[in-house]
Structure 1
Amino acid sequence: MKILALAASSSSTSINKQLATYAAGLVAGAEVEVLDINDYEMPIFSEDKEKEIGQPEQAKRFFQKIGEADAIVISYAEHNGSYATAFKNVFDWTSRIDMKVYQGKPVVMLATSPGPGGAATVLAAATGSAPYFAADVKGSLSVPSFYDNFDMEKGELRNEALIAELKTIMSVL
């Protein structure tokens, strides 16, 4: 099984990338590819820009990466209660190639933040809209207070209840 893991964040030190990588690694025997959305940077989407430049190669490559995966693990950063702009832009461009961005793939959606909210607002938006973009959402989990619940040195969750919940979600892949 090939799992595509990514953070919906452009931060080079993304806690969401750490969470997505850790979660994907829980699937025994899986080949995990960790994607960096910074590799898919494009101009801000607009219909005018699309008429001017067409569909950027970065969006085509992103769509292809999703298509090549057997499953997707994505962890969302929350910026002011919504998606990080960098991810939203990649997603918007990709949806112009095909509205079925997730291509019917099984998807686990996660989110985390340093605070107690755990990016739950953006996670709810993502899971709520996912079926419209052909995501087969197998489960979702918000991890609050990332630095209290994740061991940075070991690269793993340390909260037993969150570990158990995440393992249960990941077991469906």
Structure 2
Amino acid sequence: MKVIAFAASSSSTSINKQLVTYAGSLVKGADLEVLDLNDYELPLFSQDKENEIGQPEMAKAFLAKLNSAEAIVISFAEHNGSYTAAYKNLFDWCSRIQQKVYQDKKLVLLSTSPGPGGAKNVLAAASGSAPFFGAEVKATVSIPSFYENFDVENQRISNRELNDKVMTAISALSS
């Protein structure tokens, strides 16, 4: 199974990238590709900018990556209760090219933050809207207090209960 995974963050030290890389590695026998949003940097979306430049190649390339997968795993960072600007901008460009951005793929949606909220607000927004954009959301999991529940040195979830939730979510991609 070809799996695309990415953090909805442009941070070079993204805890969501650490989480999604670990979660993606749990898909047994998968051909896993972890994307970096920084490779798809685009000008700020507006209709005026779209009229000026058309459909950016980077947005088309991102959509092609999603199309190449059978399943997608995303971990959302939360900025002020919502999506990061980098993710939202890329998503907006992509949705103008193809409304079903997720192309009827199976998705597992994750989120984490350093605090106890675990980025649950953005996870709820993402899971609520994803089906309108061609996603079959198989599972969602929020990991609160990242540094207390993730072993950064060994790059794995250290909290057994949370790890079991992520493993169960990932196993849903095979169904």
Fold-level similarity (TM above 0.5): yes
Q: Percent identity?
A: 64
d(CA) in 1 for partners of 2:155, 2:126: 25
Residue in structure 1 matched with residue 140 of structure 2 by the alignment: 140
User: Matched residue of 1:139: which SS?
Assistant: strand
Q: 2:50 — aligned with what?
A: 50
2:75 corresponds to: 75
**By how many angstroms is 1:159 displaced?**
0.4
Which residue number in structure 1 is paired with residue 8 of structure 2?
8
Tell me the amino acid that sits aligned with residue 133 of structure 1: F
Distance 2:60 2:30 in 1: 25
Partner secondary structure for residue 82 of structure 1: coil
Q: What is the CA deviation profile of residues 41-86 of structure 1, one whole-angstrom value per residue up to 9, with x for unaligned ones?
A: 0100000000000000000000000000110000000000000000
Q: Partners in 2 of 1:61 and 1:153 — Cα distance?
A: 33
**Alignment partner of 1:5: what SS?**
strand
Q: Which residue of 1 aligns with 2:34?
A: 34
Structure 1 residue ranges, 4+ long, deviating more than 2 angstroms after superposition = none
Tell me the SS of whatever aligns to 2:172. Answer: coil
- Deviation digits for residues 88-134 of structure 1, max 9, x if unmatched? 00000000011100000000000000000000000000000001000
- Offset, 1:27: 1.0
Whichever residue aligns with residue 97 of structure 1, its letter is I
Tell me the TM-score normalised to structure 2 length.
0.98
| Cα displacement (A) at 1:156 | 0.1
- Note if 1:90 corresponds to 2:96: no
Within-5 A mapping of 1:148-167: 148-167=148-167
Counterpart amino acid of 1:169? A
- Give per-residue Cα distances to partners, 1:20-44, cap 9 Å, x unaligned: 0100111111111000010000100
**Tell me, what secondary structure is at the counterpart of 1:83?**
coil
Runs (5+) with no aligned partner, structure 1: none
1:115-134 alignment to 2 at 5 Å?
115-134=115-134
Residue 137 of structure 1 deviates from its aligned partner by: 0.3
Determine the structure 2 residue equivalent to 1:113.
113
Q: What CA distance in whole angstroms lies between the structure 2 residues aligned with 1:163 and 1:119?
A: 17
TM-align CA RMSD: 0.5
2-structure distance, mates of 1:18, 1:54: 34
TM-score (norm 1): 0.99
Structure 2 portions without partners, runs of 5+: none
Which residue pairs with 1:169 in the alignment?
A: 169
